[in-house]
Amino acid sequence: MVSSSVAVPTSRLGRRVLTAGAWLLGSNLASQTLRLISSLVLTRLLLPEAFGLVAAVQTLYFALVMFSDLGVWQSVVNSPHGNTSRFLGTAMTVQLARGVLLAAVVLATAMGLQVFATHAEPGTVYADPRFAAMVGAFALCALLQGAESMHLATAQRELQTKLLTRLELLSQLSGTLVTLGLAWTTRSVWSLVIGTLVATLARTVFSHTLLPGPAYRLCWDKNCAGEIVGFGKWIFLSSIIGFAAAHGEKLILGGTLPTAAFGTFSIAALLLGAISGLVGNLNAHLVFPSLSEALRASDAVARQVYTRMQQVADAILGLIAGGTFVAGGWVVHGLYDSRYAGAAWMLQLLGLGLLAIRYQVLEQMMFARGKPAWVTLSNAMRATSLVIFVPLGYAWAGERGALLAVVASQFVGWPVSIAFKIRARLMSWQSEVVWPLSLASGMAGGWLLDQFLLKWGPHAFHVFAAQ
């Protein structure tokens, strides 16, 4: 029986979580719709090679971002002092310094890539003479992101998802309009790069103009800095290894596959990004702040909030993973022309890996409890398996073998997650039975859809591709 002291804060937090979740779901639906429309237009204006180049540039830049992640925002969200002016001012100082340093590293990396291009495998992304220059352009992104307002973090802390939704959509729309306009007039891969820079600039400007929050100014407080660094050191290590676990295959495949094939892979990854992106946003803007607040109430409240969130994630991800694995190829055939047909089987295979991200909810609990070392260990196991098995898979069975290794590696860290659940008293059969039932249901639904489309819709389903 739940005591009144537990039930009251749980109920209050639950209402805020539901409201925040509704806004996040609406935001992501709008965002992914905009992203899909943009993709459909751009694939008709640009060649697959363009998407391969940009995907590799963004992945490399994201790697450098993760390699310099000090967990500043997470510290603001998690700390009891995170909404004070001294803490925010110190956090902003750290973030600005990191942005300047990151920009310098990006430029140095671009110069190194220019030299490396002559030694890269011919026909791959890394051998393309445009690649180094495109990486260098992202130094501006680093500076702009370093100048973002700390009110982004305080808005996450307070679950102000309505305001964050408005900011994210306006930023994305700004970048998308510029990208489409330049792609229409120039047919150049640079339209994708410039559009990204515009979206980043818009986000920075909007963070200072659209979000309310505690007043602060740049300062340096030794105690606040010590708390940020103390919390962030594990975030830093976890971010590095987490990137390698989640995106390391792109760096490996970018130097292995022909540029066009890598571009096709990026289309499959883009479609899956509608799901993984939603999960990531929910984790950052809803799950982590909610669990942090629940823990400030009591451990019992936190366990209740976690269990409910995990069950919802398991049900939804299981259905989508099963359905995509069986019938996901129809999405590619229906939306894209024959140049991107290879993305169909890639989407189906990679879709099964969506089930692996169910434990990202648990990872947020690890962070909220101040136990990021567990996340680091799990990600290290996945990253190691990628480095070993993706090249072996490619040597064994080409593209299919490499992607099979990518999917398998995502499940390597599960034993660590299970061990943490047992230790933290978060394990229960009621929650663990949800995901296999949901996965089976998704596969059954996917099979029925596949049979229906095979019989009735093979021509009608290609309407978008024919246009």
- DSSP type of residue 284: I
Amino acid 90: pLDDT: 92
To 10 degrees, the CA torsion angle through 30, 316, 240, 302?
A: 110
Query: 19-33, 199-213, 306-320, 415-429 — which is least confidently predicted?
Result: 19-33
| Predicted pLDDT at 88 | 92
Signed CA dihedral, 152, 154, 155, 156: sign only? positive
Q: Can you tell me the distance from the alpha carbon of 387 to that of 273, in angstroms, rounded to the nearest whole number?
A: 22
Alpha helices in 46-84 (DSSP H): 48-67, 72-78
Q: What percent of the chain has pLDDT over 90?
A: 23
Residue from 364, 224, 212 nearest 294 by CA:
364
What digits encode the pLDDT tens for the residues 6-54?
444 555 555 666 666 666 667 667 777 777 788 778 888 887 788 888 8
Cα 42 to Cα 215: distance, rounded to the nearest angstrom: 42
pLDDT, one tens digit per residue, over 420-464 is 998 888 887 777 888 899 999 999 998 998 888 777 665 544 443
Amino acid at 382: R
**14 or 61: whose pLDDT is higher?**
61
Lowest average pLDDT, out of 89-98, 165-174, 332-341, goes to: 332-341
Token pair, residue 459, equals 């021509």
Give the residue-averaged pLDDT of 404-420.
90
User: Rounded to two decimals, what is the model's pTM?
Assistant: 0.69
Per-chain mean pLDDT for the chain: 83
Nearest-angstrom CA–CA distance, 56 and 312: 33
Q: What phi and psi, each to the nearest 5 degrees, are found at residue 266?
A: -65, -30
Highest mean pLDDT, choosing among 141-150, 162-171, 210-219, 244-253 = 141-150
Q: In what helix (H) or strand (E) does residue 333 lie, and over which residues does it extend?
A: helix 329-335
Residues in Cβ contact with 252 at an 8 Å cutoff, skipping those fewer than 6 apart: 386, 387, 390, 391, 402
SS3 content of the chain, % helix, strand, coil (to 5): 85, 0, 15
Using the 8-state DSSP alphabet, how is residue 287 labeled? I
Query: For residue 269, is pLDDT > 90?
Result: no
pLDDT in tens, 347-360: 999 988 888 888 88
* Inter-residue contact 102 to 61 (CB < 8 Å): no
What pLDDT shows up at residue 270? 80
| pLDDT surpasses 50 at 4 | no
Is pLDDT at 414 greater than 50 in this prediction? Answer: yes
Residue 98 CA to its chain's centroid (Å): 21
Confidence class for position 190, pLDDT limits 50, 70, 90: very high
Which three-class secondary structure state does DSSP give residue 12? helix
Give the type of residue at 13: L
- Select from 461, 436, 160 the least CA-distant residue to 286: 160
Query: Which run of H or of E encompasses 131?
Result: helix 130-137
> Residue 108: is its pLDDT beyond 90?
yes
